[in-house]
Amino acid sequence: MTQEKGLLLVLSGPSGVGKGTVCSALRPFMKDLVYSVSATTRTPRAGEKEGVNYFFKSHKEFERMIQQDELLEWAEYVGNFYGTPRKFVEDTLNAGKDVILEIEVQGALQVKEKFPEGIFIFLAPPDLKELRTRITGRGTESEETIHRRMQMAKAELDLMEHYNYVVVNDEVHKACDRIQAILVAEHLKKERQIAKYRHWIEEVNI
């Protein structure tokens, strides 16, 4: 039987909206969902581990990856680079497994050009005041950096129209429920079901 290709789920939104928190909360409920680990040049935050949260690279290493076309997407954000290793994502999808990318908005739009069949979810804050509170609560950014992130967030909210779905992260468990519902619905779309049944019909003589 022909292997059904996995779905590419792209989750992005403004910095501080809680993308990492939502992805971590999804793990116990969506154990078959494969998480793609991004590469970045930013400094690790407390508790982050190499190869688990990110692949931490120097600027020189990251530039080599760009030149050798080893990234599905990449973007510069507030002085640092972020990118998604290409081969891992493609191999996993071809093996029939769903992949989730947790990336910045610039990167998501790059992925959409290469994988328009992907599922693009914009994770939004309840409001900008709450977003600023979350960023400030990290205690890792200067006032100047916070201001830059807020200006970037306003610009990114204008790009919401390029996504398939918008999920408000008011409460993490509710955001997770919404994302799970989206993935189930996408798997049940007639285009995927028809393709599966056509393969069955072609392979069986009745």
Indicate which CATH number applies to the domain containing 25. 3.40.50.300
Domain count of the chain? Answer: 1
Mean pLDDT across the chain, nearest whole number?
A: 88
Write out the two tokens for 91: 């191999």
pLDDT of res. 16:
81
Q: With beta carbons less than 8 A apart as the criterion, state whether 41 and 59 touch.
A: yes
Residue 194 belongs to domain spanning: 8-36+97-203
> Considering the domain boundaries, does residue 186 fall inside one?
yes
> Considering the domain boundaries, does residue 44 fall inside one?
no
pLDDT digits (tens, 9 = 90+) for 23-72: 999 989 898 999 998 899 999 999 999 988 889 999 999 999 999 989 98
pTM of the entire structure?
A: 0.79
Percentage of the chain exceeding pLDDT 70: 95
> Considering the domain boundaries, does residue 83 fall inside one?
no
- Rounded to whole angstroms, what are the CA distances from 192 to 7, 63, 97, 101, 125? 10, 38, 14, 21, 32
Percentage of the chain exceeding pLDDT 90: 49
> Considering the domain boundaries, does residue 59 fall inside one?
no
pLDDT of res. 132:
80
- Rounded to whole angstroms, what are the CA distances from 141 to 34, 114, 155? 30, 33, 20
> Considering the domain boundaries, does residue 25 fall inside one?
yes
> Considering the domain boundaries, does residue 199 fall inside one?
yes
> Considering the domain boundaries, does residue 42 fall inside one?
no
pLDDT over 70 (residue 155): yes
- Rounded to whole angstroms, what are the CA distances from 126 to 74, 112, 165, 178? 27, 25, 15, 15
> Considering the domain boundaries, does residue 124 fall inside one?
yes
